Homo-oligomer: A and B are copies of this chain.
Amino acid sequence: MLELSELRRKNLELAKKRFKESVNTDLLIINAINNFEELQKIINTLTKKLREWYSLYFPELDREVQDNEAFVRLLIKKNKKELLNELGLKESIGAELNKEDLEPIISLARLINNLIKEKHLLEEYLERTMRSYCPETSTISGALIGAKLLRGAGSLKKLAMMRSSTIQLLGAEKALFRHIRTGAKPPKYGYLMQHPLVQNAKKKDKGRVARALADKIFICARVDYFKGAPIAARLLDELEEKFKKKSSTE
């Protein structure tokens, strides 16, 4: 018979082993996509503040350059004079700031630029990891949407067990509960809204496209989980063919 302390030691070791094994690619992907979204939010918030602050100095640039990443890059690379030239303006109605007051503004722009770089690195990591962990799903849905679906389900295993109608609505939980509670219109798509096929569809077709896409993702997630033969590229072609034809003949 084992000693009690011996039993305890073995038990503890087993628990430790279980924990180690429970950390898997699913969790790594979920953490990465969470941080990716957080960075996106932060970049937007900070750029809004940067635009406000910089506009004390040079309000014309805020209006002329809508794209956030371009705005940040311009601020870092060029001074007011160069930017005025580029915009074809003779002067700005903004205040003259001395170096001391301008420095923290440019410094914020540099920081945002680093955040943008970090976001791109994380996106690359997600692409690589999704490509090797669930290649089929990421082929049909794209790595970012795939990662969000995986997070919504909890793991690849759970995603592979989901019905396609559930997959279609992952990411639309709020709207779904509002529908159940108040009888508001039911949602037609969640994360799939961001997919090029859905984005390029006409408003009235979006629901149908999302359903068809969810059907294919349903298949691909199972192929990924059960290590079946690749099929995603063909399914995507079919979808593109189907909905391209639709919109060109209508």
Contacts and interface: CB of A to CB of B under 8 A. Distances in A.
A26 to B, nearest CB: 11
Contact of A104 (B56, B111, B121): B121
Contacts of A108: 35, 118
A122 B104 CA distance: 7
A129 B103 CA distance: 12
Chain A interface size, as a band, is: 35 or more
B49 A35 contact: yes
Interface in A18-35: 19-21, 23-24, 27-28, 31-32, 34-35
A248 interface: no
A225 interface: no
Interface in A104-128: 104, 107-108, 111, 114-115, 118, 121-122, 125, 128
Nearest to A23: B95
B31 A49 contact: yes
A121 B84 CA distance: 29
B103 A20 contact: no
Interface in A35-82: 35, 38, 42, 45-46, 49, 52-53, 56-57
Nearest to A101: B28
Secondary structure of the A side of the interface?
helix
A56 to B, nearest CB: 5
Contacts of A46: 35, 38, 42
A31 B115 CA distance: 20
Which 6 A-B residue pairings sit nearest by Cβ, starting from the closest? Answer: A23-B95, A31-B53, A16-B93, A23-B56, A104-B125, A19-B93
Interface of A: 15-16, 19-21, 23-24, 27-28, 31-32, 34-35, 38, 42, 45-46, 49, 52-53, 56-57, 93-97, 100-101, 103-104, 107-108, 111, 114-115, 118, 121-122, 125, 128-129
23 contacts: A20-B93, A23-B56, A23-B57, A23-B94, A28-B101, A31-B49, A31-B53, A32-B53, A32-B104, A35-B108, A38-B46, A42-B46, A100-B125, A100-B128, A100-B129, A104-B121, A104-B122, A107-B121, A107-B122, A108-B118, A111-B114, A111-B115, A111-B118
Given A28-B56, A31-B49, A38-B45, 18 more contacts: A15-B93, A20-B93, A21-B95, A23-B57, A28-B97, A31-B52, A32-B104, A34-B49, A35-B53, A38-B46, A42-B42, A42-B45, A100-B125, A100-B129, A104-B121, A104-B125, A111-B114, A111-B115
